[in-house]
Amino acid sequence: MATVADIWHRAWHLAHAGHVPDGLTAGRTLAAFHERTPARVADTTVAEDGGRVVGFIMVVDDEVEQVFLDPDLHGSGISATLLAEAELQVAAAGHDVAWLAVVTGNARARRFYEKHGWSDAGDLPYEVTALGERFVSPCRRYEKRVRP
């Protein structure tokens, strides 16, 4: 899970800095990601390229909680495979509709979800904790039907 933490940290800052409260960005240190990942093994599926972990999803019930790809591979198409797998996992768990929260200013991710058939279902202020402090991230809720 160490590589997952490294990718999570790098890609998170690329996509979120400036679009979430500054205190939250400050709290998302590399060490914090390394602390968080071991507890998430059961929710995590990784993508490999040439035997190297390059991205991951975390799925919890009907929520696609995380979709992260090594920034060196953005635009490669690997993220489409990851997202399709996340949708399959939500459907396999018995849910008709998958959902996720995406930070409002994360334009690349929003375009990515929209081109894969996800719809903007409205405002979703998302509460998160970093360094023991609570923050509200301005997010949108996206949804996609994953079973007929």
CB 120 within 8 A of CB 142: yes
Closest CA to 69 of 129, 11, 134: 11
- d(CA 135, CA 11) in angstroms, rounded, equals 20
One character per residue 20-59, x = contact with ligand COA (rule: CB under 6 A): ----------------------------------------
Does 122 interact with ligand COA (rule: CB under 6 A)? no
Contact between residue 31 and residue 5 where contact means Cβ atoms under 8 Å apart: no
- Count Cα atoms within 13 angstroms, Cβ side, for 96: 1
Beta bridge partners of 71: none
Q: Which is nearer to ligand COA, 24 or 102 (CB)?
A: 102
Shortest Cβ distance from residue 109 to ligand COA (Å)? 4
Closer CB to ligand COA, 29 or 76, in the complex: 76
Residue count of the chain: 148
141 belongs to the binding site for ligand COA (CB under 6 A): no
Binding mask 63-102 for ligand COA (x = CB under 6 A): ----xxx----xxx--x----------------------x
Please list, in sequence order, all residues whose beta carbon lies within 8 angstroms of the beta carbon of residue 34, skipping any fewer than 6 positions away: 2, 5
In this complex, which beta carbon is closest to ligand COA, that of residue 11 or of residue 59?
Answer: 11
Q: Where does this chain bind ligand COA (CB under 6 A)?
A: 11, 14-15, 67-69, 74-76, 79, 102, 106-109, 111-112, 115
